[in-house]
Amino acid sequence: MANLATREAYGIALAKLGQENKNIVVLDADLSKSTKTADFKKVCPERFFNMGIAEGDMMATAAGLSTCGKIPFVSTFAIFAAGRGFEQIRNSICYPELNVKIAATHAGLTVGEDGASHQAIEDISLMRSIPNMTVICPCDDVETMSAINAAAVYEGPIYIRLGRSSVPTLNDENTYKYEIGKAVTLREGKDVTIFATGIMVNEAIKAHEALLKDGISAEVINIHTIKPIDEEAVVFSAKKTGAVVTCEEHSVIGGLGSAVCEVLSENHPVPVKRIGVMDTFGESGKPGELLKEYGLTADNIVAAVKEVINKKK
């Protein structure tokens, strides 16, 4: 497998799961072709519910289904899931700690041409702040499929953040096993640690290669679970390298960068530079153009690494 969007991997995994586990039900809000829940509908039509354009209603309906032993996977675009559905997710899903899986697609700037109104850059922040919520952001198709399977057997609310645009496959589908809350070290290094999540993991690896040429050894760690974050891995690597760069396709406020800083400031403060959307809205454009425009490329990571290394004591 290669170069699938994580939403496409979600559709494939969900259709397979649905046939294996009759308790799985899927809800969508008039976006099933885009979110790929249509793949599930094709094989399990009786357990697919189109809720219409009504995201708040959809979240609380899923809550009700889960109280009766169903395992709802709920999908729409990330902006409408985490945004429109926020308070329903908080009070009807997370407070009673119900077994609802929210798989939100079209997260981040790579939504592209639809523009700012559709580019969720706050969803990690919103979801991470709710007690009982687990927040997952897979980096490729292999990790997505494995994460969806892990989510299905985990008991409790989960938010899974997926993308619209295709991303290269980084993990080996034969050996990769997703473990909720367990960071994955992709490249070892000693001068700096790059913590990345989602589509930025690939950029971090590219930055690692570029930095090698400059004689800088960068550790690359995939934080696929932003909550609960793997504190041990974060602190261990920061102690080893003494400098950190975080990378996410999300606002620098409240997402991975904030989560890493929270852990480090209380346990082992080191210089940190956050790569992400700098407290601004996105805009229309091609996904690649937007990543460049908003400073979310391997080049930006390389520059941030050099800056942060200079600040080391």
Partner 1 sequence: MERDIQKLSGIACTIRQDIIKMLTESASGHPGGSLSAVEILTALYFSEMKVDTSNPRCEDRDRFVLSKGHAAPVLYATLAEKGFFDKKHLSTLRKLGSILQGHPNMNDTPGVDMSTGSLGQGLSAANGMALAGKLDNKDYRVFVLLGDGELEEGQVWEAAMTSAHYKLDNLIAFIDHNGLQIDGEITEVMNPESISEKFKAFGWNVIDIDGHNFEEIFEAIDKAKETKGKPTAVVAKTVKGKGVSFMENVAGWHGTAPNKEQCEQALKELGGAVNG
Q: 10 Å Cβ neighbour count for 67?
A: 12
Cβ proximity to ligand TPP: between 31 and 120 the closer is 31
When CB distances to ligand TPP are compared, the closest residue is 30
- Measured from the CB atom, the residue of 84 and 224 that comes closer to ligand TPP is 84
Give the per-residue contact string, 69-88, with partner 1 (x = CB under 8 A; - = no).
----------xx--xx----
Tell me, residue by residue from 235 to 274, as one string, x for binding to partner 1 by CB under 8 A and - for no binding.
----------------------------------------
Closest approach of ligand TPP to the CB of residue 63, in Å: 19
286: contact with partner 1 by CB under 8 A: yes
Return the sign of the alpha-carbon dihedral for residues 219, 199, 6, 118: positive
Of the two residues 7 and 227, which places its CB atom closer to ligand TPP in the complex?
Answer: 7
Q: How far is the CB of 37 from ligand TPP (least distance, A)?
A: 13
Largest CA distance in the chain: 61
Q: Which stretch binds partner 1 (CB under 8 A): 107-115, 217-225, 229-237, 255-263?
A: 107-115
Residue in 8, 55, 143, 249 annotated catalytic: 55
Nearest 5 degrees, angle CA 103-CA 65-CA 43?
A: 60
- Is the separation of the CB atoms in 211 and 204 below 8 Å? no
Q: Residue 259: what residue type?
A: A
- With respect to partner 1, which residue has the nearer C-beta, 79 or 216? 79
Partner interacting with residue 34 (select from partner 1, ligand TPP, none; CB below 5-8 Å by kind): partner 1
Q: Which of 28, 39, 143, 249 touches partner 1 by CB under 8 A?
A: 28
From the centroid of its chain, how far is CA 70? 24
Tally the C-alpha atoms within 13 A of residue 23's C-alpha that lie toward its C-beta.
12
Residue 289: name its binding partner from ligand TPP, partner 1, none (Cβ under 5 to 8 Å by kind): partner 1
Q: Which residues contact 196 (CB under 8 A, 6 or more apart)?
A: 139, 203, 204, 220, 221, 222, 223, 246, 247, 248, 256
CB of 78 to ligand TPP, least distance (A): 11
- Which residues of the shown chain bind ligand TPP in the complex (CB under 6 A)? 30-31, 53, 80, 84
Q: Could you tell me the smallest distance in angstroms from the CB atom of residue 104 to ligand TPP?
A: 12
Known catalytic residue at 55: yes
Chosen residue from 112, 138, 198, 255 binding partner 1 by CB under 8 A: 112
Among 284, 299, 303, 306, binds partner 1 (CB under 8 A): 284
Compare residues 53 and 212 and give the one whose CB is closer to ligand TPP: 53
Min CB(16)–ligand TPP separation in Å: 26
CB of 117 to ligand TPP, least distance (A): 8
Query: Which active-site residues does the annotation give?
Result: 55
Q: Which residues would be at the binding site for partner 1 (CB under 8 A)?
A: 28, 30-34, 50-54, 56-57, 79-80, 83-84, 112-118, 283-286, 289-290, 293
